[in-house]
Structures are given as structure tokens and as C-alpha cells.
Amino acid sequence: MRLLFAATECAPFFKSGGLGDVLGALPKELAQKDHEVRVVLPYFVQLIPDEYKKNIKDVTHFTVEVGWRKQYCGIKELKLDKVTYYFIDNLYYFDRPTLYDYEDDAERFAFFQLAAIEMLEVVDYIPDIFHVNDWQTAVIPVLLKDKYAWKNKLKNIRTVLTIHNLMFQGIYDQFVLSDLFGIGYDAFHEHGLKYYDNVNFLKGGIYYSDLVTTVSPTYADEIQTKAFGMGLEQDLKNVENKLVGILNGIDFDFYNPETDESLSAPFSIEDLEGKAKNKEALQEHFGLPINPDIPLMGIVTRLDEQKGIQLIIDSMDELLSFRNVQLVLLGTGKPYFEEAFRYYTEKYPNHFKGRIEFDVNLAQLIYAGCDLFLMPSAFEPCGLSQLNAMRYGTLPIVHEVGGLADTVIPYNHVTVEGTGFSFYDFDVETMLHTIDHALTIYFDFPDQWQQLIRQAMQKDNSWSKAAQIYIDHYQKLMD
């Protein structure tokens, strides 16, 4: 099959979260299965590492009409790991220090979507499947069936929309239809772009794409309810016949405790000695007392309510005052959360250290060196950190929502089944009770603890299985 992905982030070029990880891994896995895979991205010139930038080649350029504006569109190309990457070049829109949160984001991503479609004939690549991701590319299925419906070469393209996080929808004034996309009101209706009196990019994609996927089966069910639907629950119920949840995976080549150069020592399921060395290195790095016997918990996250950060803050005094535990945190986010963790770093210097930054190598060391990984998200479409932690034998403690419920098997004391610990009620008392349960196993049942570590590491969370599910769905669309 000829596959084309459109997204606004992709590892290893630039990313802000899980979308970037997925786009870095899924196309590569599909290409390994002998499909022709290409990816189109904005050319965020300030963010692409020099090691890739120097190999990116200019292909061609043309003009894109963004409403009444005539904008330059350069096409650049890079071939890597059997995948061809196209970069849409326009300095006015994409020469910026961060990916998102600009006042003209609607215009920036309207240009990108128009350019991604108009590029197809220019580079002579008409995909069988055009797979778009999140609100920034969700209007592409609408445009293909509205603005570009007259183009015979494009009429047989099947479209797939993946929702990585329903919270972000791209809601703008209806004037964007003519002012940015150059279309009328044919798609502005309840089963299209209309959202009250505004335009909702994501809603348009939900109705106009041939298949809607999200990143875990449980999240696919949750978003059809008022509690998780973010105002689109009825629309998602309306398309439940084409809505499917497919679990994300992780790149097993990158997240590999036997070869990861970020670690102080390699280790494997057969030989866990290196994991203890990574724990010691992590304690030393954070300036915590070096003690192999004290349980070390880790957090790598965006500091935001979605990630359950308020729950963690509300539990800090009781957790650190009355339990023999160490906790390390790595992340950035909302200023009041950042300040709270700076306060607790000073208050409990022998038990907690927070680093308000993001460091990929340090994140890897946390996944590998901790005993437990705390991830109490209020909601979580899939989550990747818990998968990373299990790959390195660090047992996750999670809130039973979305992909966390689908990927972490709760520990069973009778059968010793499980890959971590989980709780359902979203409150401090329940979370602390679950932490206490995990600490009891750590201290009192060391043999079972070692068994849980190996079970977590053995779990196949690679992209191979998920990629095959996507292929099956692509094939159904073509058939």
C-alpha cells in the first residue's frame, strides 16, 4: 500500500508529546512491513537537529492560496529508515521557537493542510491511505471531499483520522472557512465542521474521514461519554461504527535496556544487576542518599492537571513524612506546579528532588533506575511513559483510565500476575493506599517483586502488533 501520514510533530525531528513519538515509530514499522510510507510535516527550521537538517534536500516549490493570501510553499525531502519525509517550508509560518500556541495557529495549520494536499500531484505521490493526526490536520479529509473533490487523481484516497488527545480540537470563528481555506459553507453543518456558531477542525475530521482511530480501546469507549467526550461525545457516538481504539506501542530499538547509551549500566531480563547500578547513579545524580534498599519512585511528565499533578502535590506531605521512600520528578509545565515542586525539594531534601526541565537522557535513567513509576493521570488516551517504564523493569502505579487501564495489569497477590499497580477512585487516599500496597510487596515479598519486574519487561508493547492492526484496517478501507 501507498501510505501518507500528515502531522505537526515527529521524532526525532521535533515533538512535544506522544504524537511525536507515534509518528516517529509507526511509519517506520509500517515501512518494515514492505509498505511505501511517506510523512509530511511542517519545516520547523529552528527545531530540527543539525544532524538531520544537513541531509534534507530541496525538491520543489509552488504557491498555495490561503484564502486571499498567496504563500510560498517549499517542499524538502529526507529519506530515513525506509521512510520518505516531506517538509513543508514557509518561514513566515514555521520559523518559530516552539510548535504551538500562537495567535495565528489557525492560519498556520490551514496553510499546512492545503499545502499537504496540493503537494500530492507536484511530487507525484497519490497515496491509497492519507492518515491525519489531531486537529492540526483534521480538515484534510474535509478538503478532499469538498474543495478538491473535482480532482480525479485524488478522489479514491481513503482517509484515517487518529485522535491522540480529544482535549485539543481547533475551534475558531466560522470566517476561517473563506478567509483561510477558501471554501463556502457546504461542510458547515452538524455532521461536519459546525460546532455551535464556530468551526471545529477535529469535528470535521471525525465526520469526513473514512476511519477514526484513537490510541487505546478504553479511551475509544470513554470519549463517547460526557465525562471524557470534551463536548464531542455525541458526535463520536454517531460515528461509532467507524471508531476504533488501537493501542500505541513504543520503539523497542530506542527503549532497550541492553543497548541504551543513556544508562549507567545495561541490563536484561536474565541479568538485572545493571538495574541496581542505574538506581545508584540516579540517586547520585539527584543528590539523594545512596541506598539500594529504599524504594525509589519516579515521575516523568508534563506538569498539568490532566497528568494528575494536583493529586501528587496534595499527597506529598503524607507520602514523604510517613513512608520510607524516595521520589524524583522530571518535567515542566504550569508555573504554580513548578513552584510547588521546588518547595518540596527544599522541604524534603533526603526524600524528594524535582528537576524542572526536560532532559531525554535523564528521563531514560529514571525509567531504568527507579523501582516504581507514578502516573496518576486524570485521563490518558494511551500514555507512553508507563510502557517505557515497564520495558525497563520499573513497575507503574497508574489511575485506571484510557490506555493506562489497557496496558498495566494490576498485581494479583494470589496468582502473582501483573505488571504494575492501579487504582480507580481519583483521590489522594486511594492513590496512597495503592502506593502502600506496592511498598508492602517491595519490602515483604522480594521474590514476587522480582517476578513482577520480569513480567513487566516481557510484555510486548512494541509497534509490530499495533502496526498490523492498522494495516488490517487500511486494507478494509481499500476493499
The β-bridge partners of 41 are: 87
393 closest CA partner among 441, 326, 450: 450
For residue 275, the surrounding DSSP H or E stretch is helix 273-286
- Sheet of strand 372-375, all strands in order from the earlier edge strand to the far edge: 352-355, 326-330, 296-300, 372-375, 395-399, 421-423
- The answer to whether residues 169 and 201 touch, using CB atoms and an 8 Å cutoff, is yes
3-class secondary-structure state, position 373: strand
155-165 average pLDDT score: 97
The predicted pLDDT at position 218 comes to: 97
143-150 average pLDDT score: 97
Which tens digits make up the pLDDT trace of 277-297?
A: 999 999 999 999 999 999 999
176-182 average pLDDT score: 98
Residue 217 confidence class, pLDDT cut points 50, 70, 90: very high
User: Residue 17: pLDDT above 90?
Assistant: no
Question: For residues 420 and 24, what is the distance between their CA atoms, to the nearest angstrom?
Answer: 27
Percent of the chain with pLDDT over 70: 100
The predicted pLDDT at position 27 comes to: 97
Residue 138 confidence class, pLDDT cut points 50, 70, 90: very high
pTM flag (> 0.75): yes
User: Residue 9: pLDDT above 90?
Assistant: yes
- The answer to whether residues 461 and 408 touch, using CB atoms and an 8 Å cutoff, is no
User: Residue 253: pLDDT above 90?
Assistant: no
Task: Supply φ then ψ for residue 393, to 5 degrees.
Answer: 75, 25
Length of the chain: 479
Question: For residues 240 and 8, what is the distance between their CA atoms, to the nearest angstrom?
Answer: 26
User: Residue 449: pLDDT above 90?
Assistant: yes
User: Residue 18: pLDDT above 90?
Assistant: no
Which tens digits make up the pLDDT trace of 36-75?
A: 999 999 999 999 999 999 999 999 999 999 999 999 999 9
181-208 average pLDDT score: 98
137-142 average pLDDT score: 98
The predicted pLDDT at position 358 comes to: 87
Mean pLDDT of the chain: 97
User: Helix 309-322 crosses helix 335-347 at what angle (to 10 degrees)?
Assistant: 0
The predicted pLDDT at position 477 comes to: 97
The predicted pLDDT at position 254 comes to: 86
Give me the half-sphere count of Cα atoms (radius 13 Å) on the Cβ side of residue 155.
4
User: Residue 187: pLDDT above 90?
Assistant: yes
Which tens digits make up the pLDDT trace of 385-410?
A: 999 999 999 999 999 999 999 999 99
**Three-point CA angle 386, 291, 451, nearest 5°:** 45
- Sheet of strand 57-66, all strands in order from the earlier edge strand to the far edge: 57-66, 69-80, 83-89, 36-42, 2-6, 129-133, 158-163, 211-214, 243-245
